[in-house]
Structure 1
Amino acid sequence: MNYKTIAVAIDFSKQSLKAYDRAIKLAIEYGATLQLVNVIDTKSFGAVTAYDLKYAEKLKEENFTKIEKLRIEAQAAGVTEALANVETGSPKSILTQLPTVDLLVCGATGLNQIEKMVLGSVAERIVRLASCDVLIVR
C-alpha cells in the first residue's frame, strides 16, 4: 500500500512523541502528507460552561503553538507536506473519523492512565473503529 496521508495523534506524552517520530519516517518513505492531530478532551473539564470555554480556547492556543513547532520540525526532517491541527472534543471520536487519512499512527498509551483503566484506551478504540490502517507505537 502506498500511503498518501498519514495522521499522527499527539497529546505530547512520551508515547505520542515516539509515534510522531515513526510517522515522520513513514511520511518520508512514502512521500506522504503528514497530518499532526492534537485533540483537547473537553469532557474532562469542570461543569461551569464559561470557564470551560475560556480554558478550552487557551489550551487550544497553547497546544497549537506546540504542535506547530513539531510541524516545522517534521518539514525540516524531510517531510514534504506537514499540517497541524488542534481539535476539541472526544479524542476517540475525532481520531476515528479523520477524513482522507490512509494511516493513523498513535502511541500505545497517552497522558490519561486513569481513563484507560475505567473506559479503555484511546489506542484500543482507534484500532477497533478507524476506517484506515492503524499503527500503534510502543
Structure 2
Amino acid sequence: MANYLKIAVAIDFSEQSLKAFERASQLAIQYHATLLLVSVIDTKSFGAASAYDLKYAEALKKENSSKIEKLAKDALQAGVKEVESVVEAGLPKAILTQLPDVDLIVCGATGLNRMEKMLLGSVAEKVARHASCDVLIVR
C-alpha cells in the first residue's frame, strides 16, 4: 500500500474542487502527509490583449491567494500537520502534471468550465493520463 508523504489538490474553487480539497485533507491526516494546495489561473481562457491579461492574471492570483490561505487554515484546524500552497498562472494541465515531489494528486472530476461538466473534465483527464504519481479523481 502506498505511503503518501505529499498530497497535492487542485483548487479552482468550483464545488468539485472543494470536495477534492475535503478528501485530500482527510488523506493528509490519515497518512500524516503534507497537503499542497494548488490553484492555477488558466491563462488560455483569457482574451488576446496581453496587457489586460497580465493585469487580470495578477488580480486573480491575489484573489486566489487569499482564498487558498483560508483553505490552508481550515486544513490545519482539521488536523493536517503541514500545508503548503502554490498559486500559478498558466495551463492547469501542464502545471498539475509537473509538480515535484508529489505522491498523490487529488482533483475534482470537473471544474468551472461548462463543457467540462458534461464529461470527465479535461484537466482531470489530462492529469490522470500524464501525472507521474497516483491520481484520485473525486466526484
User: Match for 1:106: what amino acid?
Assistant: C
- Aligned residue number for residue 40 of structure 1: 41
SS in 2 for 1:123: helix
- Aligned residue number for residue 103 of structure 1: 104
- The runs of 4+ residues in structure 1 deviating greater than 3 Å are none
TM-score normalised according to structure 2 size: 0.94
What's the C-alpha RMSD, in Å, of the aligned pairs?
A: 1.2
Say if 1:116 and 1:122, in contact at 8 Å, map to a contact too: no
Aligned residues: 136
State the 1:84 CA deviation. 1.5
SS in 2 for 1:67: helix
State the 1:18 CA deviation. 0.4
The one-character-per-residue Cα deviations of 1:81-115 (angstroms, maximum 9, x if unpaired) are 00111011000000011000000000000101236
SS in 2 for 1:35: strand
State the 1:21 CA deviation. 0.2
**Runs of 5+ consecutive residues of structure 1 not aligned to the other structure:** none
User: Match for 2:55: what amino acid?
Assistant: K
The 5 Å alignment of 1:40-59 reads 40-59=41-60
State the 1:75 CA deviation. 0.4
What is the distance in 2 between the residues matched to 1:115 and 1:128?
16
User: Match for 2:19: what amino acid?
Assistant: K
What is the distance in 2 between the residues matched to 1:69 and 1:16?
15
- Aligned residue number for residue 15 of structure 1: 16
SS in 2 for 1:34: strand
**Runs of 5+ consecutive residues of structure 2 not aligned to the other structure:** none
- Aligned residue number for residue 6 of structure 1: 7
SS in 1 for 2:85: strand
What is the distance in 1 between the residues matched to 2:9 and 2:55?
27
Q: Among all aligned residue pairs of Structure 1 and Structure 2, give the percentage whose two residues are the same amino acid.
A: 71
User: Match for 1:134: what amino acid?
Assistant: V
The one-character-per-residue Cα deviations of 1:55-86 (angstroms, maximum 9, x if unpaired) are 10001000000011000110010000001110
TM-score normalised according to structure 1 size: 0.95
